[in-house]
């Protein structure tokens, strides 16, 4: 899972993803933690045809049944294997509310030394990450205020040579049953398939990426 990342600046997002629409009323945090304010890219909700729009929202998805925007349980990460069944995520998934989360880098904890050492993950080619996510819009019934929000998808990484090294292991479980998690990078050439395609199209993109894509170092 991921609980800390750095979003790129607006110029880098524009260059990498050719954003057509933006909502510039709000800015985002320099470093994102759960329930912070960050940017995400989705298929534009208005207008004819297909376009991408940049939206700013809370990094912790607010499900339709929530009574308040800041939940008492975490929704900043969503297991990709549970999207069709989990109450918080099944409606956005069924409606195709997929998004790309731009990230200059993200951090993960490594416990190989016996204590937590944070590692920072960048792309080896210097480009920003485009991470798979889901988005939702929630309206406060008391005030009428509309809240945008999103969650970052994760996938099992027990077999990945790099990502399986992250997070504190459970000594009671074998190495191949730890359920270590990885974010899901979406290649720039596959963004439209992720945003516009069918659920099956999207599932085909939910995979681990080669270790050569990563530049990872302790911080």
Fold that domain 5-105+125-156+182-218 belongs to in CATH? hypothetical protein yedk fold (3.90.1680)
To the nearest 10°, report the CA torsion of 193, 14, 155, 75. -110
Q: Which of 31, 217, 1 is nearest to 119 (CA)?
A: 217
| C-alpha–C-alpha distance, residues 64 and 139, integer Å | 8
Per-residue pLDDT of the chain in tens (219 residues, 90 and over written 9): 899 999 999 889 989 998 865 555 558 999 999 999 999 999 998 877 889 999 999 999 999 999 999 898 999 999 999 999 999 999 999 999 999 999 999 999 999 999 999 999 999 999 999 999 999 999 999 899 999 999 999 999 999 999 999 999 988 898 888 999 999 999 999 999 999 999 999 999 999 999 999 999 999
Q: Which two tokens stand for residue 149?
A: 């929000």
To the nearest 10°, report the CA torsion of 174, 177, 178, 182. 140
Let me know: does 184 contact 153? Beta carbons within 8 Å.
Answer: yes
Share of the chain above pLDDT 70, in %: 97
- pLDDT tens for each residue of 64-82: 999 999 898 999 999 999 9
Q: Which two tokens stand for residue 9?
A: 């600046």
Please report the sign of the dihedral spanned by the C-alpha atoms of residue 101, residue 105, residue 111, residue 114: negative
- pLDDT at position 20 is 62
- pLDDT at position 26 is 58
Q: Look up the pTM and report it.
A: 0.94
The residues that bridge with 77 in the sheet, in sequence order, are: 152
């Amino acid at each position: 899972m991921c609980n800390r990342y750095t979003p790129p600046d607006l110029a880098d997002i524009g260059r990498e993803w050719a954003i057509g629409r933006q909502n510039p009323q709000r800015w985002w945090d320099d470093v994102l933690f759960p329930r912070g304010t960050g940017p995400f890219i989705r298929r534009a909700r208005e207008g004819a045809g297909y376009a991408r729009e940049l939206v700013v929202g809370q990094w912790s998805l607010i499900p339709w049944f929530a009574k308040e925007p800041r939940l008492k349980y975490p929704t900043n990460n969503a297991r990709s294997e549970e999207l069709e069944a989990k109450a918080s995520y099944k409606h956005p998934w069924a409606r195709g509310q997929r998004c790309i989360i731009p990230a200059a880098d993200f951090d993960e904890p490594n416990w190989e030394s016996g204590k937590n050492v944070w590692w920072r993950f960048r792309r080896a080619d210097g480009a920003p990450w485009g991470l798979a996510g889901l988005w939702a819009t929630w309206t406060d019934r008391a005030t009428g205020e509309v809240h945008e929000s999103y969650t970052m998808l994760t996938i099992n990484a027990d077999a990945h040579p790099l990502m399986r090294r992250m997070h504190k292991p459970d000594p009671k479980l074998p190495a191949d049953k730890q359920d270590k998690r990885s974010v899901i990078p979406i290649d720039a050439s596959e963004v439209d398939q992720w945003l516009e395609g069918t659920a099956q199209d999207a599932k085909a993109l939910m995979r681990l990426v080669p270790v050569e894509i990563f530049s990872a170092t302790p911080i």
